[in-house]
């Protein structure tokens, strides 16, 4: 029996909606990036230890625990000055000593951007992801392939009616297919309409388990007009799939 025109049209629409929103060439490029950065399934959780040096030359220990796409616990420093920051879905908190502060919702939606494959690149196979290949761009003394990624906010209601779409510029080494740089605009803690540029530069890649991890990350935030700050993270240890409890991503949880 011949299919009706309506049935054929419906099938075509479903097929279009079921694939990512980018060209075949861009899809192939992203799959090559995925293959170079992760061999198999993404880890269930990641624990990172290292040091963080600010632009004043102060160096402190840092530890990060990451679980899934939106659970992140970061501890910087030691003793009474240790600063704990937790992101858990649409909630977030900071704590120094006994002082606990809840973060506004617009500042609580974060991804573990220090590992590129756990950032928006983890959505490569999502039909909602919008990607565009911008071609080769000069990054310092090397050329990198620039890809623009956008993931529309899935929430139907946000504070003040503003959607929190995710946007990321990713720069790929055209030979190794590893991420060498990302650029995004982060919303200020105090004002969701005030966007602060953030640039992450990745180097010293090493394979841990099945995941490529950059052991040196330079984070530059701000602009010359509002002030710029730079922090350098040097990783000393990475552990995968250690069954981090969900309680670690709640105030006062497992440490």
pLDDT digits (tens, 9 = 90+) for 157-176: 555 556 678 899 999 999 99
Q: Scanning the structure block, which residue is given the tokens 């590992």?
A: 115
Residues 98-124, mean pLDDT to the nearest whole number: 89
Give the torsion through C-alpha atoms of 11, 17, 22, 26, to 10 deg. -70
pTM for this prediction: 0.85
For the beta carbon of residue 66, count every other beta carbon within 10 angstroms: 25
- With a pLDDT cut of 90, the percent of the chain lying above it is 63
CA 218/CA 180 separation, integer angstroms: 11
pLDDT value at residue 155:
64
Q: Where are the domains of the chain?
A: 25-245
CB within 8 Å of 78: residues ≥ 6 apart: 60, 61
Confidence band of 75 (pLDDT split at 50, 70, 90): very high
Are 115 and 109 contacting, i.e. CB atoms less than 8 angstroms apart?
A: no
Q: Scanning the structure block, which residue is given the tokens 């075509």?
A: 12
Task: Please name the fold of domain 25-245.
Answer: outer membrane lipoprotein receptor (LolB), chain A (2.50.20)
pLDDT over 70 (residue 210)? yes
pLDDT digit string (tens) for 128-148? 999 999 999 998 888 999 999
Confidence band of 195 (pLDDT split at 50, 70, 90): confident
The values of phi and psi at residue 49, to 5°, are: -125, 145
Give the torsion through C-alpha atoms of 156, 158, 162, 166, to 10 deg. -80
- Regarding beta strands 99-102 and 91-96, do their DSSP bridges make them parallel or antiparallel, or are they unpaired? antiparallel
């Amino acid at each position: 029996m011949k299919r009706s025109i309506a049935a054929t049209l419906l099938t075509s629409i479903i097929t279009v909606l079921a694939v990512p929103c980018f060209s075949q060439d861009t899809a192939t490029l992203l799959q090559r990036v995925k293959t170079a950065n992760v061999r198999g399934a993404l880890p269930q959780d990641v624990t990172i230890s290292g040091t963080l040096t600010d632009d004043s030359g102060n160096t402190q220990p840092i530890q990060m625990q990451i679980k899934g796409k939106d659970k992140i616990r970061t501890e910087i420093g030691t003793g009474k000055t240790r600063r704990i920051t937790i992101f858990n879905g649409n909630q977030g908190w900071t704590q120094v000593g006994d002082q606990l502060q809840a973060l506004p919702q617009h500042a609580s939606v974060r991804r573990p951007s220090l590992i590129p494959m756990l950032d928006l690149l983890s959505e490569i196979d999502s039909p909602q992801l919008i990607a565009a290949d911008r071609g080769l761009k000069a990054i310092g003394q090397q050329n990198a392939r620039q890809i623009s990624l956008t993931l529309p906010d899935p929430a139907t209601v946000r504070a003040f009616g503003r959607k929190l779409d995710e946007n990321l510029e990713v720069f790929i080494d055209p030979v190794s297919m590893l991420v060498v740089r990302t650029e995004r605009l982060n919303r200020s803690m105090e004002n969701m309409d005030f966007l602060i540029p953030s640039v992450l530069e990745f180097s010293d890649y090493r394979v841990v388990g099945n995941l490529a991890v950059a052991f040196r990350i330079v984070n530059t935030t701000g602009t010359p007009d509002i002030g710029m700050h730079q922090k350098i993270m040097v990783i000393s240890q990475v552990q995968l799939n250690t069954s981090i409890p969900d309680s670690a991503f709640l105030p006062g949880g497992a440490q």
